[in-house]
Structure 1
Amino acid sequence: MPTFDIQDIKRRMEGAITALKSDFQGLRTGRANVNLLEPVMVESYGAMVPLNQVGAISSPEPRLLTVTVWEKSMVNVVDKAIRNAGIGLNPVIDGMMLRIPIPPLNEERRRELVKLSGKYAEAARVAIRNVRRDAMEQLKKSEKDGDISEDQLKKLSTQVQEVTDSFVKQVDTTMKTKEEEIMQV
């Protein structure tokens, strides 16, 4: 009899929450945060690598990020990668360092960021629902194969739904917190 593991389902749903939080870290809130540059990929010797593998990222001031590039030949490549990353930042080259001023967010940009965070949250909800769907299919197959009874199917299905609801609620809470953070002037 194949065992049904509710902990595995929780672990997979937790992965969706972790991915959402990671996506949210890349959203700008008007303050400099080294995580803003996390999604930036740079072409280095023919391979795409994360920015933090070609330079050191720091935040010396609340409205400034700096990237100290380790190789002189990579300075312009890093500059171009940040400009093309779609995060609305324009670096200023200063020798081997890039200074990246964080412009204050205007109302329109805040609304765009809230919409984008909504898309991230919906993607997380979809991922959680996909885990639920897989679990339900597994349960129905087990019942059809005679591994579990109809009563066990109902009980386990209810358990899966409760776990799903709690994780969707976590997504909603995380989304609401991020929205408040973005809209805060």
Structure 2
Amino acid sequence: MSQDDLEIDLDAIQRRMDGAMHALRTEFGSLRTGRASASILEPIHVDAYGQQTPLNQLGTINVPEPRMVVINVWDKGMISKVERAIRDSGIGINPVVDGPIIRLPIPELNEERRKELSKVAAHYAEQARVAIRNVRRDGMDQIKKAKSAGMAEDDQKMWSDEVQALTDKAIAAVDKALEEKQKEIMQV
């Protein structure tokens, strides 16, 4: 094997760790805090035109006030289906139909619900940590294979340290994101 074959692709490892972080941010975005956000509607799909269509493809979603999300449905015949999809989604918000506009007043969160959301956020963060550790394990497996193919002991140590540094950095980013999200959730 040539020396080039013994290189470990740190960029691929970094990309996979970044992917786990991106997934975490997406999960955090779907958590309903006390503030209105269009991202809470992202997972909602509406049975429109014979298929499940993302809500954001059926109308304009705006956040005119801190506790209000407004959906301007383009096809007036879809208003009742959009309303039903929101009610059935389990996000805990009751839509108010006002002509072609659907208003979603975001209720104040009580302390119990805040703690529950904080636990959900911690669960999402743990899933991200596990994903990052899995990427680390894959990287370490690559290093072990390269060692058996003739990688020098010093190179193995250097690559292991690099992978561990990437892992530590990614885990720290997850912890920081979790701390910020929990602070946002618990804010009254």
TM-score, length-scaled by structure 2: 0.92
Identical aligned residues as a percent: 52
**Alignment partner of 1:153 is 2:170:** no
TM-fit CA distance, 1:63: 1.2
**Alignment partner of 1:95 is 2:114:** no
Let me know the Cα RMSD of the aligned residues.
1.3
Distance 1:125 1:85 in 2: 28
- Structure 2 partner of 1:123: 127
TM-fit CA distance, 1:166: 1.1
- Structure 2 partner of 1:51: 55
Secondary structure at the aligned position of 2:64 is classed as: strand
Gaps of 5+ in 2: none
CA shift in 2, pair 1:10/1:73, >3 Å: same
- CA deviations 1:63-89 (Å, max 9, x no partner) are 111111111221122112212222111
The amino acid of 1:183's aligned partner reads: M
Please show how residues 4-43 of structure 1 align to structure 2 within 5 Å. Answer: 4-43=8-47
The amino acid of 2:184's aligned partner reads: E
Distance 1:44 1:149 in 2: 60
Distance 2:52 2:142 in 1: 38
**Alignment partner of 1:183 is 2:162:** no
Distance 1:158 1:150 in 2: 12
- Structure 2 partner of 1:144: 148
Gaps of 5+ in 1: none
- Structure 2 partner of 1:163: 166
Q: Which of structure 1's runs of 4+ aligned residues deviate more than 3 A?
A: none
Please show how residues 63-82 of structure 1 align to structure 2 within 5 Å. Answer: 63-82=67-86
- CA deviations 1:87-124 (Å, max 9, x no partner) are 11110122221111100010011011101111110111
TM-fit CA distance, 1:168: 0.4
